[in-house]
């Protein structure tokens, strides 16, 4: 890991806190297929973006995906499955 990832500078801490604050009010949802275990992804949405995170690393990285792209992804998975 690079030193930049562990940079305790005030600018990096403020950015990290701002990201955490932006995601604090989101309602995260997990697939019912996960059986309640922490081995799934969680998603939270707004009109503009769906945020996706690993349920095993809640404070970890969050991937923003455009809502339209997320809907297309879900549609394809439902129709074709993951192997399609």
The pair of structure tokens assigned to 44 is 């939270």
Digit-coded pLDDT (tens) for 38-55 = 678 889 988 888 999 888
pLDDT at 72: 92
Which of 73, 79, 77 shows the shortest CA–CA distance to 33?
77
How far is the C-alpha of 28 from the C-alpha of 39, rounded, in Å?
A: 15
Average pLDDT, the chain: 74
Q: How far apart are the first and last CA of the chain?
A: 35
Digit-coded pLDDT (tens) for 64-74 = 899 999 999 88
Query: How long, in residues, is the chain?
Result: 84
pLDDT at 25: 78
More confidently predicted of 79 and 12: 79
pLDDT at 20: 62
Contacts of 47 (CB under 8 A, 6+ apart): 67
């Amino acid at each position: 890991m690079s030193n930049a990832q562990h940079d305790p500078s005030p600018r990096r801490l403020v950015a990290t806190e701002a990201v955490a604050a932006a995601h604090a009010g989101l309602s995260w949802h997990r697939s019912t297929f996960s059986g309640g275990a922490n081995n799934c992804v969680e998603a939270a949405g707004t009109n503009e973006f769906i945020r996706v995170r690993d349920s095993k690393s809640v404070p970890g990285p969050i991937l923003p995906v455009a809502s339209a792209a997320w809907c297309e992804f879900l549609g394809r998975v439902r129709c074709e499955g993951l192997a399609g």
